Amino acid sequence: MPQGSPTSGVGRVIAGRYLLLNRLGSGGMGHVWLAHDQRLACEVALKEIVFSNPAFADAEREARVARAQAEARHAAGLRGHPHVVTVHDVLEHDGLPWIVMEYVANAVDLRDLVGRQGPLAPAECARVGLAVLDALTAGHERGVMHRDVKPANILLAPDRAGSPYARVLLTDYGISVQPDAGETRYTLTSVLVGTAGYLAPERATGGPPTAAADLFSLGCTLYHAVEGHGPFTRESPLAEVTAVVMEDPLPPAHAGALAPVLHAMLEKDPLRRIPAAEAEAALSRIVTPQAEAEAYARTQTDLGSESPWEGRPAPVPVAMPTQAWPPYGYGVPASRPSPAGRRRRPRPRVLQSVLAGLLGLALALGGVWYAMAHQPPGKDTGKKSPPYGTAVGLSSPLKDGDCVTADWPGGHLFQGTPRLAVDAGCRNSVPDGQVMAFVSTASAGEARKVGADRCAQRTQEIREKLADVRGYAVVPTDAGFDAAGRRTACLVLGAHGPVYGPLGSHRTLGSAFADTSTMQKRDCLDVPSNRAASLVSCTGKHDQEVVGFTRLGADVTLAQARARSDAACARDVPPADYGFDPSVYQAASWTSEGPWKSGTHFVVCAVRKQNGGTMEGDEP
């Protein structure tokens, strides 16, 4: 077995103390494991440094060990910083370096989050940017340059109150350096250090690591977060590096207020690049707009629904001053002297009659308006406004479990406001998604401000269990707020196509799967044949259990996928990583036409017993 590769996976004990539970992820430097610290009885993350080419392991060993020690030392110097993953220790086990780190439960990196749920709103990007900038600045003050700021190295995790993505953490100081400390650089001079497409131009051309270079990489990262791709995305790493040095960034389409900040951070000349203090001030203004800016009304008809990661700042209602009645009524009382002591000529009676008539008409119209405006709740006023606006097109409010079809403008998914249609029983069409939750608010204005984020919280669990979905908030308009039941509807929609049936708890036990799109993690399956499966309870006998997903290449046909998917799941989602004994269990897989029609090519990975027996509900 190659040196440095996992020898037995789950169950290894590292340094006589850390029991490996499952693998959290892998990268260019090695693997990250969830482990149990047997001495302190707590969970930690262990980063295992491995060698990509076993033939050069001996030559690389000294440099890799030294690099791991440098990473631990740099990160440990920032111990206690709220936006840096804490490093506890660095050790050697069987000649390989391991870094013991804080385990961040339920964390997702920014790259995966944007890939699954779409771009973030500009204000949310600015919030993430402020946190990462704070971490970078703390390192820069100690002379530590990160050198690899990118979406995959930014973690978002729930805070103590359970708000998803509230914590923002910078991780992976694996190639960081203290240039002023005389440190040895454990990289080859001919090797470009960093990630193509996120390097500063001066770094790509061989310049030294600086704080300004880290700021450029942060600008590329925030661009990726708000646009869904990097500013220098090209067909190859070499082309990306060339673009960084020679070409302007791709024009942003969704950055909004963030666009000028990105432009300043992506300035190719480091001497003209925006400094950290000014970038912090600019990002802060986006997160917390100035009071005078908030006083302007933003007109938005048919707000419909916005993804929590694509939403824009909500309109701020403006209270227009009402004209006061003259303090003395029409005309001047006899007791009030006229200006300069002059006597006013009496108004003609005809004019007084006309004025009196107009006043009476105004009072009558005002009375009608007042009666309509203060009509008791529930009393029909005639024409009703659609609950979510005319663009969404629904005349009645959505209900829990409603399946929906979504017709997007121009056929571009998650761009603009979709026209929705309801299939209440999920029987008459292939649904694009389903109503999974609601968020109640006191006003339509509050719904615009918090509805999307709260929907993201309410649907987070189900979205994380499915392979290819996104959240979407259907926000009521001002006129339709009461008709919508004062609630924002939280949808889960297929990210690239239909979901082919009910989702989550709206599925019934015993129902057959029409497509893999509705299979979710920890589903237990009854499998009467290799082409049919139905949902059953995990407490009873079942044939398989779903543990995750993988994807196959764009050139792989569905027929080829059915022949290769078991091996792909065994490689990418091994049962041992989920606590299943590899001597008893093996990988299983499910494919269907849906992911091939949408071009996502995802495969559902499950586990089954090697002897073909049933699972009895006592598995991990």
Tens-place pLDDT, residues 379-426: 444 457 899 999 999 999 999 999 999 999 988 888 889 999 998 778
Q: Which of residues 293, 316, 337 is at a domain's end?
A: 293
Whether residue 338 is predicted with pLDDT greater than 90 in this model: the reply is: no
**What DSSP line would sit under 414-478, residue for residue?**
TSS-PEEEEETTS-SS--SEEEEEEEE-SSHHHHHHHHHHHHHHHHHHHHHHSSSEEEEEEPPPT
Measured in degrees and rounded to the nearest 5, phi and psi for residue 40 equal: -100, 0
127 vs 73: which has the higher pLDDT = 127
Judgement on whether residues 154 and 124 belong to the same structural domain of the protein: yes
pLDDT for res 308: 33
pLDDT for res 270: 93
**Region 453-471: what's the mean pLDDT?**
88
Confidence grade of residue 145 (pLDDT, cut at 50, 70, 90): confident
**Region 476-497: what's the mean pLDDT?**
93
CA-closest candidate to residue 158, choices 95, 94, 220, 105: 105
77 vs 7: which has the higher pLDDT = 77
Half-sphere exposure of 124 (CA within 13 A, CB side): 28
Q: Which of residues 102, 137, 157 is at a domain's end?
A: 102
Whether residue 56 is predicted with pLDDT greater than 50 in this model: the reply is: no
Note whether 492 and 437 are within 8 A (CB): no
Whether residue 361 is predicted with pLDDT greater than 70 in this model: the reply is: no
Distance, in Å, from the CA atom of 401 to the CA atom of 504, rounded to the nearest integer, reads 10
The sign of the dihedral angle between the CA atoms of 106, 111, 113, 119 is positive
**Region 226-254: what's the mean pLDDT?**
91
Flag whether 535 is in a domain. yes
597 known ligand binder = no
Note whether 33 and 45 are within 8 A (CB): yes
Query: What's the pLDDT tens digit per position in 181-216?
Result: 444 343 333 345 568 899 999 988 888 888 999 999
Judgement on whether residues 286 and 158 belong to the same structural domain of the protein: yes
Q: What tokens appear for 125 in the block?
A: 């990007």
Q: Which long-range contacts (CB under 8 A, 24 or more apart) does 90-94 make?
A: 91/14, 91/15, 92/65, 93/14, 93/15
Q: What tokens appear for 338 in the block?
A: 């006229």
pLDDT for res 618: 62
Note whether 216 and 265 are within 8 A (CB): yes
The sign of the dihedral angle between the CA atoms of 384, 385, 390, 393 is negative
**Region 302-307: what's the mean pLDDT?**
32
Name the helix (H) or strand (E) containing 619.
Answer: none
**Region 309-335: what's the mean pLDDT?**
30
Distance, in Å, from the CA atom of 126 to the CA atom of 121, rounded to the nearest integer, reads 9
CA-closest candidate to residue 434, choices 448, 420, 451, 413: 420
Distance, in Å, from the CA atom of 21 to the CA atom of 9, rounded to the nearest integer, reads 8
- Percentage of the residues of the chain whose pLDDT score is greater than 90: 45
Flag whether 549 is in a domain. yes
Domain enclosing residue 576, as ranges: 509-609
Judgement on whether residues 547 and 441 belong to the same structural domain of the protein: no
Judgement on whether residues 50 and 170 belong to the same structural domain of the protein: no
Among 167-171, 184-188, 513-517, 546-550, the least confident range: 184-188
Region of 490 please: left (phi>0), alpha (psi -120 to 50) or beta.
beta
Measured in degrees and rounded to the nearest 5, phi and psi for residue 186 equal: -95, 50
Among 55-69, 97-111, 162-176, 487-501, the least confident range: 55-69
368 vs 257: which has the higher pLDDT = 257
* Bridge partners, 491 (sequence order): 435, 472
- Expressed in angstroms, the distance from the first to the final Cα of the chain is 28
Q: Which of residues 470, 504, 538 is at a domain's end?
A: 504
CA angle, residues 269, 271, 276, in degrees to nearest 5: 105
- Burial bucket for residue 165 (CB in 10 Å: 0-12, 13-18, 19+): buried
257 vs 367: which has the higher pLDDT = 257
Flag whether 254 is in a domain. yes
Judgement on whether residues 133 and 70 belong to the same structural domain of the protein: no
Q: Which CATH number do you get for residue 70?
A: 3.30.200.20
Distance, in Å, from the CA atom of 238 to the CA atom of 250, rounded to the nearest integer, reads 17
Distance, in Å, from the CA atom of 544 to the CA atom of 608, rounded to the nearest integer, reads 5
162 vs 484: which has the higher pLDDT = 484
pLDDT for res 85: 86
Highest mean pLDDT among 80-84, 88-92, 429-433, 520-524: 520-524
Judgement on whether residues 458 and 520 belong to the same structural domain of the protein: no
Judgement on whether residues 222 and 277 belong to the same structural domain of the protein: yes
Flag whether 585 is in a domain. yes
Neighbour count for residue 563 (Cβ, 10 Å): 11
Judgement on whether residues 96 and 124 belong to the same structural domain of the protein: no
Query: What's the pLDDT tens digit per position in 434-455?
Result: 999 999 989 999 999 888 888 9
Flag whether 334 is in a domain. no
pTM for this predicted structure: 0.48
pLDDT for res 589: 95
Whether residue 557 is predicted with pLDDT greater than 60 in this model: the reply is: yes
Half-sphere exposure of 509 (CA within 13 A, CB side): 7
Distance, in Å, from the CA atom of 339 to the CA atom of 235, rounded to the nearest integer, reads 82
Q: What tokens appear for 1 in the block?
A: 């077995």
From residue 471, alpha-carbon distances to 306, 339, 424, 456, 586 in Å are 9, 68, 19, 6, 33
Confidence grade of residue 27 (pLDDT, cut at 50, 70, 90): low
Measured in degrees and rounded to the nearest 5, phi and psi for residue 93 equal: -140, 120
Flag whether 375 is in a domain. no
Note whether 73 and 20 are within 8 A (CB): no
Judgement on whether residues 500 and 514 belong to the same structural domain of the protein: no
Confidence grade of residue 177 (pLDDT, cut at 50, 70, 90): very low
The sign of the dihedral angle between the CA atoms of 217, 223, 226, 230 is negative
- Burial bucket for residue 66 (CB in 10 Å: 0-12, 13-18, 19+): middle
pLDDT for res 54: 53
Flag whether 343 is in a domain. no
Q: Which CATH number do you get for residue 288?
A: 1.10.510.10
Judgement on whether residues 195 and 125 belong to the same structural domain of the protein: yes
Judgement on whether residues 85 and 205 belong to the same structural domain of the protein: no
- Burial bucket for residue 189 (CB in 10 Å: 0-12, 13-18, 19+): exposed
pLDDT for res 480: 93
- Mean pLDDT over all residues of the chain? 78
Judgement on whether residues 284 and 161 belong to the same structural domain of the protein: yes
Q: How many domains does the chain divide into?
A: 4
pLDDT for res 498: 92
CA-closest candidate to residue 389, choices 430, 349, 418, 353: 418
Flag whether 467 is in a domain. yes
pLDDT for res 91: 83
Q: What tokens appear for 107 in the block?
A: 């964390």
- Amino acid symbol at 291: A
**Residues taking part in catalysis:** 148
